[in-house]
Structure 1
Amino acid sequence: MTVVARLSVPAAEFELGAALAGVEYVEVELERVIPTGPEFVPFFWVRGASVESVDAALAEAEPIEDAEFVDRAGDALLYRCRCGRDDASVVTGLERAGLTLLSASGRGGRWTFDVRGDGWETVGAFREFCAANGIDVRLESMGPLGSAGDDADDRLTDAQAEALVAAHEAGYYDSPRRATLAEIADDLGISRQSLAERLKRGTHNLIEAMLAAGSGPNK
C-alpha cells in the first residue's frame, strides 16, 4: 500500500537549510529536486528575504555550487543551485529508504518534507537511517495515499503516527511479540494506557483512510 508522510528535521541538518541559516526569511520552499549522483539540483523559492542576503549566504555555503537567482514573484525569489550531499544527508536517506520527495519547505528553524513510499516500512527505514546518522527527525503525520482530504477526526494524528511506528519498529506486531506496551510507552515517555488508546484510535483511522482511498477489500 502506498503511504504518504510528513517528516521534519532541524534546518541545520538539511544542506539548504544550513546554507541559509544566516538569512532572515519567512519561508523557503523547494520547487523541484533533481538527484544527480553525489549532488542534487534544487529549484527553490525564498520568501521575505533580499537577493543580496541570499546571494551572500549561498556564496559562502560549502555544499552549494553554481547558485543562481532565476526570477522574482512579489516578495518571493526563485533560485537554483547544485548542492553536494554525503552518505549521511537527509536526501541520501530519503533515496535509500525508497521515499519520493513530494515537497519540502523551511520555516521557523525546521524543514518539513512531504514524502511518498511503498509501504509503512519505507518511513521506518528513513527513521532508522536518521537515528544511525544523528539526524533529529520528527514524524509529523502519516497515512495511506488519498487520505489527505478525509475528515479531520479520521486522519492519523502526529501522536498516533508516532505510536504506531514505534510499536512496529519495536516488534509489537511481530509473532511472537518482541516488545510490550509498557516498554514502548516507557520509550515514548507516556503511560501504557495512553499508548494503548493511541494505537487503538490510530489503527481505526488508518482503516478508515484506507477504505476512503479505495484500498479496502474488493476495491
Structure 2
Amino acid sequence: MHAFEMEHERIERAELRHWNMVLDDTNTFVFRVRGDPDPFGAKLESRDATISYSLTPASNGVFYCCVRERATESDEGYIDAFARGTLVVIPPVRFNPDGTTDLTLVGTPADVNAAVEELPDSMRADVRSIGPYRRRVGSAASRLTDRQREAVAAAVECGYYDSPRDGSVSDVAADLGVAPSTAAEHLRKAEATVMRQILGR
C-alpha cells in the first residue's frame, strides 16, 4: 500500500493512527489519508490480503480507513522485530512520499537496538534521535484541528520553520491546495494555540 500511495497522483500521504494485532494472523489498522478515497478503496479491494475495510468520506481532502487484513510474511518480519520486551510504538506512524516511514519507539536501549538490528533484510532503520520520552497527554498538538496540523506539517516539511527560512506560506498553500491567505490563517491559529498552551492559558 505504501508503494501504491507513493505512485498514485491522487494519494498524497498516509499515517497509521491505531492498530490491533490479534493472535489469529490478522491485523486491523486505522489510517488517516490525504487524498482521494476512491482509488485507495479500489486498491484495498484488489489485494488478496484485505479481509474487510471501511472508508469515511473525504473532508478537506482527508479521509480515514479502517482495514482488516491477513498478515503477510513481510508484515510478520517487521512485527517480530518490534514485538519485544519493553518496546511500544507511539502513533502516528507516517508513510512518506519518498518511501521512508517515520515512527517513535519507547523502550530500553537494548530492545531498541535489537529491533533495529533484526529488521528484515529488505528494510533498514536510521535512528534520528534518542532521549527521554517527553510527549504529554493533552499537549498543544492534540488541540489543533486536522487542517491546522496539516498546515504545520507542510510548513515543517518545506522549511518554513527552518533558520534561515527555506519555505514560504505560498509553499504551504501549494501543499494544502489552498490560497496563501488561508494557509497563513491556519498557521497563525495553530501557533496561537501552541503558545497559549505553553503559557498555561
TM-score range, shorter chain: 0.5 to 0.7
Structure-1 residue corresponding to 2:174:
none
Once the two structures are TM-superposed, the CA of residue 129 in structure 1 deviates from its matched residue by: 1.6
Do 1:23 and 1:57's aligned partners in 2 also have CA atoms closer than 8 Å?
Answer: no
**Corresponding residue of 1:210:** none
- Which residue of 1 is the match for residue 79 of structure 2? 91
Out of 68, 71, 74, which is 1:82 matched to? 68
Q: 2:105 is matched with which residue?
A: 115
Q: Which entry has the higher C-alpha Rg, 1 or 2?
A: 1
What is the DSSP-based 3-state SS (H/G/I as helix, E as strand, rest coil) of the residue aligned with 2:8?
coil
Report sequence identity in percent: 13
Give the SS at the match of 1:139: coil
In structure 2, runs of 5+ residues without a counterpart are 137-201
- Give the C-alpha shift of residue 112 in structure 1: 1.6
1:122-133 correspondence runs (5 A): 122-130=111-119, 133=120
Distance change >3 Å, CA 141–CA 115, structure 1 → 2: same
The Cα of 1:97 is off from its aligned counterpart by: 5.9
Alpha-carbon distance in structure 2 between the residues aligned to 1:19 and 1:99: 29
Match of 1:141 in 2: 128
Whole-Å separation in 2 of the counterparts to 1:46 and 1:29: 6
Distance 2:46 2:100 in 1: 21
Residue segments in structure 1 that go unaligned for 5+ positions in a row: 1-15, 150-219
Structure with more relative contact order (C-alpha pairs < 8 Å, separation 6 or more): 1
Tell me what 2:161 maps to.
Answer: none
Deviations 1:18-54 (A, max 9, x none): 564553322101121111122221101110x212110
Q: Out of 27, 36, 56, which is 1:40 matched to?
A: 27
Residues 6-85 of structure 1 mapped to structure 2, 5 A cutoff:
16-18=1-3, 20=5, 22-24=7-9, 25-37=11-23, 38-47=25-34, 49-85=35-71
> Does the 8 Å CA contact 2:27/2:68 hold for their aligned counterparts?
yes
Please, what is the CA RMSD of the aligned residues? 2.5
Taking a change above 3 Å as real, the CA distance of residues 116 and 146 of structure 1, as seen in their structure-2 partners, is: closer
Work out the CA distance in 1 between the residues paired with 2:86 and 2:65: 27
> What TM-score results when the alignment is normalised by the length of structure 1?
0.52
Aligned equivalents of 2:81, 2:52: Cα separation in 1:
24
Secondary structure of the equivalent of 2:127? strand
Could you state the TM-score of these two structures normalised by the residue count of structure 2?
A: 0.56
Q: CA deviation at 1:101?
A: 1.4
Aligned length: 130
Superposition deviation, residue 74 in structure 1: 1.2
Secondary structure of 2:118's counterpart equals helix
Q: How far apart are the structure 2 equivalents of 1:96 and 1:19?
A: 29
Give the aligned residue type for 1:128: E
Describe the shift of the 1:55–1:81 C-alpha distance in structure 2 as closer, same or farther (beyond 3 A).
Answer: same
